[in-house]
Structure 1
């Protein structure tokens, strides 16, 4: 069999370069979930050489010294499960495939919590969270860009709150992924797009979730993009209990998406209330209002005057009824009966106290002749005293032996 001459012949180096370019164009930057294998820390050069593997495959990985200082904001260990971002590369001199690591974070809440604290301390030392670096939020913004997930609950909450508050705001929606491996790049891109619109304020928002769900808002790339932004940013990520690094670096942090919408509207609402109060005060001082007040007072007085005779008649009638009842209880017959009763009572008391009644029951009054008063004791009488004894039906004389 005779083979035809090939149209084009490549060298090994050029073929590998073609494969390298194809990988970069077709695959590009990807995220891998893998285990750190043969991870021993930095080489003498400062670069990191290790492997990434799962149950079915393994690949060499390289983390260059310049990127390692930014990437390794947690304590990476051999055997740790990680999420890494990077690009595949072919080293033509050895014909080997490697994965160039551009970002890496641990999997699991424990590792993420450690990474969160390490990155937080790093950025804190750099001064990214200092209040002096935060931009003032306009009291009455006109143009607002909302960065949030398309069709998300956070987006619905924000729009419904703004509609209910009715603040005069021009709202622009800039949708982005808010969770997953590609979310951080999407969020940074959305922030750049929002900045080009030159709004008065940017509202960055998503609903609540676990530490893993919210991790994109803890990525150093996004945090630094927020810190570098020259437009005020309000962070409204998660619920009350959630705190992200974006919350700390933003110019203002709201506890919920709804609270964020209320905050950017609050200045307008306060101004509108002030205008309403001023309007009421001006109305109160206007001649028309004064005339209306006088009319109201006149109508009230007129009503009272119309009612006054009826009220007086009712009061007089009530007084007459009270007088009539008083006369019924204090007429001549009643007074006479009361006096007769008192007389009978006095007669009874006098009858009881009458000495004649006592004598009739066998008692006697004894006195010494020629002396006043009656004897109360036998010792008061002396021998030979002549006594006068008063009985009920007469008296008799006696001599003391």
Structure 2
């Protein structure tokens, strides 16, 4: 390799002759580009499809706009993002307005969005269908979530604009049909902040206490007049649809005309084609109701009268078949007369017999006869007076026999020998032990002495006892030939 270097391959950068382009720093060139872009594209409107939508914790929105050939980044600061009339999502075609600028930190250009709008009704309907599919999948439109509409609500809450013709139509229709107590919650029904106010009003009615200072509605009507899909878009917002679905009070949705459809209609318990129709669905016609009640009252009266007439006819027929009361009583009256005559005859006969028996008894009760019977009785009693010796002799004989029996009982008593130093032996069961074999079999014995009982245990061997010492010769006496036998 040649050691000489060419002019284009110098190691150090130098400014050549006639070079009037000094080198710029990265920040300088980025700033220059930023100024050029912002001066050239101070205000732009861009149409594209949203991609990579993201809302940061700070409230700023970051996204990209694309078509089939290019992509441009976009940013929307918190203040403008909070005023969006709809919720941006990926895949929605929009038209944004703002200014084009660069972001030197990444060497990218981007659009700072001041305003965002949907690109025609097609984009709006696409957003509508996408949100509808999402809420349908969550079950917010299921039929089993629908609550029945009360037949005659005492209080009706209306969520609508207080200055439009809608509230006047509803009040006028309610007054014609059946006057009811109406509570109006005024809200915006179109434009920025309308969806937030509508959802807060619905939730406010739902959270009212039944016994609070203001009567809690039995029915809520969410109403708005007709308009384009953009005008009615507040009733398609997710916050409003969820508030309708979560409301604990039955809701009638009356948004737009008959051909207009919003997501609020799907979530409500009943959809009315117009606000006036909602008032008609809310209450019955008072005159028709009173006529129905009058007709029912008349029918009930005719039914009762017809039943009474039928019962009276049946009673009259039964009365003609029944015998007369006098015919029913005559046999009983005859039996009463016969019984009365028999009682009179029987009573006279009984009185006659009683008088005859009394006369016979009175003749036998003369005083002389009673005195004779008394004298005979007293004589018999005096004869029964016996001497005392005849009673004392049997008593003395009986006492002697009793004493002899008692002496004999004391002689044969098993506790008698105990006083002379003997002991009575018994087993654990209290039975008397009379021999050695029974004592060994029993094992434990009770020795009964005169002054108490002592326990003892039997061993098979007799205890060894020392032999008595032989008596001294001086005290030995000759025993007779017939020695006395051992008592034991």
Q: Give the structure-1-normalised TM-score.
A: 0.49
What TM-score, normalized by structure 2, do the two folds share? Answer: 0.40
Higher relative contact order (CA 8 A, sep 6+): 1
